[in-house]
Amino acid sequence: LSELRPWLSGGVAGATRGGGSTGGGGGAEKGGRVRCSRRIWVLLGSLVLVFLTSLFFSVSLRGGVSFNYLEPPGWEESRRVKLVPSYVGAHRLSPPDTQQQKTCACPRCVGDPGVSDWFDENYDPDISPVWTRENIQLPSDVYYWWVMLQPQFKPHSIQQVLLRLFQVIPGRSPYGSWDPGRCLRCAVVGNSGNLRGAGYGATIDGHNYIMRINLAPTVGYEEDAGSHTTHHFMYPESAKNLAANVSFVLVPFKTLDLVWITSALSTGQIRFTYAPVKQFLRVDKDKVQIFNPAFFKYIHDHWTRHHGRYPSTGMLVLFFALHVCDEVNVFGFGADSRGNWHHYWEQNRYSGEFRKTGVHDADYEAQIIQRLAKAGKITVFPGK
């Protein structure tokens, strides 16, 4: 317009000057009007062209005009250009780029973001499942929640207890960060009766880590439950001796549990908590790990959502695996085909009573497991 303005002003001025002439100026006046009229029409045409071009680009940037009567459903969505980065947890217009999102070498990796918004919103990869020298100090809310799980009459200084314990065991986490070139496959083996007759033994033994809970016998049950173990999770009242190549993971519910493990690996002074416990424990001291109460509460807050007084040991082990493994496969969880809640090594007349205790919410925990499986974070082997 700035370039056209002198040209337009000159034409209008010429027409005005021609109109002011007398005598023989009539033809010049008429010619001036024609030239002015042509220039005005050219100008208007240029403005219309600029406007239409601007409008076309504006519509294009907003996603274009829908031609669904010519194209198959979803065409417009698939052709849409993403103008914002793919932040974790954001709604995706197209499937994530697996080459960029992969966190391990397994076909499906626990740590891959963008697969499930629900999982990404609740999963905290920075919280350690192991209690170590580095995270020895508990937040006050975690500490008071934890000590009230099983209140004790005799108070203990948690700092002093842990310092003594870490003189006996390493007090460090053996688990590193995610490695894109690694595929660490883990089997979390529960104690459900649905393992009996399932024939999962060889499949379970084929994992890198095999995690078992409390009693969990394998001798005589190798065909269904497997024979290998790398991690055994127990609390003092369920503890048993382990082979030298197995990590004993203590799940503490009270400070006295920490006093007991220190004693059981050294002096043998503690013989009773609220029930008789082993005076001495034969395990590999260098492989002993302590379940982190902060991780315990994280599961209670983020995953079981305060259903039940606290999560079951099975849920604690499952999420332990979700934070240290690349692939997690679950065996022996839930009821058997008849709806009974019992162990694969026993016949329990009162197998349904577990659902009624109020300590754990078995139904809600089953929903979480189902949702994790649907999100592709675990694979559940249903058993028989």
In the set 232, 310, 343, 344, the catalytic residue is 310
289-177-88 Cα angle (round to 5): 125
d(CA 200, CA 188): 12
Catalytic residue status for 209: no
Give the DSSP letter string of 250-319: E--SSHHHHHHHHHHTTT----BSSSB--SS--S-GGG-EEB-HHHHHHHHHHTSTT-BSS--HHHHHHH
SS (H, E, C) 314-350: HHHHHHHHHHHCCEEEEECCCCCCCCCCCECCCCCCC
E strand residue ranges, the chain: 185-189, 209-213, 231-234, 247-250, 289-290, 327-331, 379-381
Strands 289-290, 209-213: pairing is unpaired
Contacts of 126 (CB under 8 A, 6+ apart): none
d(CA 172, CA 166): 9
In the set 300, 323, 343, 360, the catalytic residue is 360
One-letter amino acid identity for 215?
Answer: L
Closest CA to 206 of 185, 183, 175: 185
3-state secondary structure of 184: coil
Catalytic residue status for 307: no
Catalytic sites, residue numbers: 310, 360
